[in-house]
Structure 1
Amino acid sequence: MTRIYCFGVTQERAPFVQKWSKKNNVEVTMTSESLTINNVKKVKGYDGVSIAEIAKFNSDIYPKLKEYGIKQLSQRTAGFDYFDLEKAKENGIIITNVPSYSPESIAEFTIMSALQLVRKQKLLADHVAKHDFRWVPEVRGRVLGNMTVAVIGVGRIGLQAAKLFKNFGCTVVGYDPYPKDNVSDVINYKENVQSAIKDADIVTLHMPATDENYHLFNKDMFNKMKKDSYLINAGRGSLINIEDLINALDENKLAAAALDVYEKEATYVPGTYPNKEIKDNDFNKLLHHSKITYTPHCAYYTDESVKNMIYSGLDSTLEVIKTGSSKNRVN
């Protein structure tokens, strides 16, 4: 019988793994641990390995996997920027990801974030907590459908978000280095990011993390945005220079921001720290900033997404074992 070792499986996700195992007649061993150089020996005797990394992966593990006859690692998320793909390839390790587990989940979360920003939900909640129930200009909202939205990164998620914004009546523009055909009824492509954002009331980010777009949204980019515009990031934390964003908000160059991701989040997310000090100064600032709404990388987090991540990740593992490759390989 085929044997797969599945790392990073929480109690919540174990039933999905068990159902997949029974359906496919594959023996799956689960652990909540991440795959590390110290526990990699556990995969000896197995045919495949599935992981769910949220931080930089130790490349010293690749030779060990090769030694144990493992030829693949299936990442059960879309993100694969944590891996040195060339070093994996040098050791005969195929890396796969789950390119699409529920674009609708993240797109709907993006719409929710936009509505919270334009209707000033955070400020309203603060007023209510202080028993201030007045109708005053500072809590007066705007109509989403009257706005221009710039979607930066028009992949599966970005396109779905664009469609939802369009349904609200928004004018939707966007940028992607590989624009899609036959979507002109939804989105008007611009030739670069700067052209897309300059007249936008809302800018929403759905790009992967690459060397080319690292800190793409920095002081210079914020200076090109409208002063009363809103920024949403449900893509990757490294797209934003957080220090520059905080300065832009403090200087009233932007109205507000909704962040579901933060560049250095792996130290804290997921986790609970009720009585522990947050030592990351930038993280502390964004958590307590009056113009930033933060959520801990949970835009994807729906029952549909969790199921699809498990099933697709393990399907890719089995696909490589049986065929030597996968439609979801990223190297």
Structure 2
Amino acid sequence: MTKIALFSSKSYDKEYFERFKPQSEIEIRYFKSALNEDTTELAKGYDVVCVFVNDQINQTVLTYLKNHGTRLIALRCAGFNNVDLEAAKDLGIKVVRVPAYSPSAVAEHAMALILTLNRKTHKAYNRVREGNFSLERLTGFNIHQKTIGVIGTGKIGKAFCEICLGFGAKVMAYDLYPDSNLEEKGVLYSSIDELFRQSDIISLHCPLNSDTKHMINKDAFKVMKDGVMIINTSRGALVDTKAAIKALKKHKLGYLGIDVYEQEENLFFHDHSESIIEDELIMRLISFPNVLITSHQAFFTHEALEQITTTTYENITDFAEGNELKNEVKSEN
């Protein structure tokens, strides 16, 4: 019997994990709480701890888990920046992830943010519901022939490039490992500074690490076009929020669409409608008419949820049966 503690559980997690539960002996307990130093006791006695993007698996948490029976951390997401991989390695705890789950879902959401910000469909919707059919201040621009810069051309970035090409946009890209297939389709790889200089729209699809943290900062904004649109569906800390607010106030940043936020762990995935939100940065962002924020829902499609669930179960089953962990995440040190 493999015992699993699933943290940061929502109704849809339970729905899909119960629907696709394998026939093998598995016992799963769902915890609404996030995993952090204050909630580690909940995981006592569980072989596997299943976590999501805002659970904090640091050395203290890992040490407790190791001492109380946990042998595997199963991430039900692609990112792993919230796990201390070096500590996990030292403690002998394996870490697995879901490397790809419907890349099209995230890529399509990035384009939805672009279209909504540009054509102001969210504002038009609210106006019409109030009987206001005016077109004043709803002017947008054609995406056709605009230059879209894509930072990161992995599976999601590649899907996004192909969507942009379908709109007739000029697509520039930056990645340490250029994709020859995209180049054949017309994507032009360049330096990141050149991408900043030429792009009308910049969409982020790269992982968060020490090299990419706050890559969109005050120096980057200085290079960009006036009125540039920034879209982030990857990781919140890729964008320096304070620098973005200053750029918005100066009209350097013309549009900002984010599905992730660098301090989202205290906000996203929860209902705060009856609370006072104390995060001044997010409240400042919300106040701008040219900022659109969604709460980490880019991945949120039926297809993606099914892929996350089945891959997570495959990872856990492989571990329980002693098979090769094809989706293992290892420390680089």
- TM, length-normalised to structure 1: 0.91
Deviation at 1:130, TM superposition (A): 7.4
**CA offset digits 1:272-310 (Å, max 9, x no partner):** 112221111111101121111111111111111122212
SS at match of 1:198: helix
Counterpart CA distance in 2 for 1:166 and 1:273 is 38
Question: Quick check: 1:265 aligned with 2:259?
Answer: no
Indicate the residue corresponding to 2:63 in structure 1.
63
**CA offset digits 1:151-194 (Å, max 9, x no partner):** 11111101001001111111111001122232213353434211
Moved more, 37-46 or 66-75: 37-46
**CA offset digits 1:228-260 (Å, max 9, x no partner):** 321111111101111111111211112211111
Deviation at 1:100, TM superposition (A): 0.7
Give the paired residue count: 330
Indicate the residue corresponding to 2:159 in structure 1.
160
Indicate the residue corresponding to 2:96 in structure 1.
96
**Contact 2:47 2:72 survives alignment (8 Å):** no
Question: Cα distance 1:38–1:214, how it changes in 2: closer, same or farther (>3 A)?
Answer: closer
Give identity over the alignment, percent: 28
**Contact 2:172 2:190 survives alignment (8 Å):** no
Question: Quick check: 1:86 aligned with 2:86?
Answer: yes
Counterpart CA distance in 1 for 2:262 and 2:58 is 18
Amino acid at match of 1:85: L
Indicate the residue corresponding to 2:228 in structure 1.
229
Question: Cα distance 1:62–1:109, how it changes in 2: closer, same or farther (>3 A)?
Answer: same
Amino acid at match of 1:30: Y
SS at match of 1:100: coil
Indicate the residue corresponding to 2:139 in structure 1.
140
Ranges in structure 1 where 5+ consecutive residues have no aligned partner: none
Counterpart CA distance in 2 for 1:44 and 1:242 is 37
Deviation at 1:39, TM superposition (A): 5.2
Indicate the residue corresponding to 2:211 in structure 1.
212
Counterpart CA distance in 1 for 2:166 and 2:108 is 12
Amino acid at match of 1:3: K
Deviation at 1:79, TM superposition (A): 1.7
Indicate the residue corresponding to 2:308 in structure 1.
309
Counterpart CA distance in 1 for 2:328 and 2:242 is 35
Counterpart CA distance in 2 for 1:94 and 1:147 is 45
Question: Quick check: 1:280 aligned with 2:279?
Answer: yes
Amino acid at match of 1:319: D
CA RMSD across the alignment = 2.2
Question: Quick check: 1:30 aligned with 2:42?
Answer: no
Runs of 4+ off more than 6 Å: none
SS at match of 1:32: coil
